[in-house]
Amino acid sequence: VSNFNLEMARGFSENLKSNSGFGLFALQNHYNLVERDSKLMPFDEYSKSTNLGMSSELIPWMKQESIYNICYHALCRGVLTDFTARHMRIKETSLHLERTTKYLVDPVLKLLTSLNEISEEIDINVSSIALQWLRQEYSRTLPVISCNSIKQLQEASFDFVLSEKHFEMLDILRAA
């Protein structure tokens, strides 16, 4: 299912279990390092209607039920890339330029600064760090990413582990 809030997902899963013996297998919502929880920090109406309290409500329930998290906009429409993190602006050629400038607010700029610091420390690109955060936050996460080249796919595929210190550095938006 996609774009379900906790009440809808729980109800659907319970109904599925009672009728078939199987519960919900996967939930696909809008979720990334910037847009963790629309109830805590909504960026716009789209975020409110597609993120639906991921970190505060859905992820804890999904962990309890072992439901997969298939998150789209995993790189926040290109905000969580080396270019944006290094230059603190969106590429003028971005297809999402108008929709992504709203993210360039103080808490997100601080997050991008932390991503840059981690990137330099461990020599891994910003996109890979943002994707690894998703996978380590909940091991049953399958991020959906939009790549338009083999190079981008390779850059997003590094195998590494973020430390507890790195998680603390990336926790800026939870406190915002």
Lowest mean pLDDT among 44-53, 95-104, 164-173: 95-104
Asked whether the beta carbons of 162 and 126 are under 8 A apart, the reply is: no
Asked whether the beta carbons of 146 and 32 are under 8 A apart, the reply is: no
For residue 13, what pLDDT band results from cuts at 50, 70 and 90? very high
Q: Which two tokens stand for residue 153?
A: 């796919």
Q: What are phi and psi of 142, to 5 degrees?
A: -125, 95
For residue 133, what pLDDT band results from cuts at 50, 70 and 90? very high
Q: Which of the two residues, 157 and 2, has the higher pLDDT score?
A: 2
Q: What is the pLDDT of residues 81-98, one digit of tens each?
A: 888 888 888 887 777 777
36/46 Cα distance (integer angstroms): 13
Lowest mean pLDDT among 67-76, 78-87, 89-98, 139-148: 89-98
Q: Which two tokens stand for residue 146?
A: 């939009």
Asked whether the beta carbons of 32 and 156 are under 8 A apart, the reply is: no
List of E strands, 66-152: 68-71, 141-143
111/2 Cα distance (integer angstroms): 27
pTM of the model: 0.91
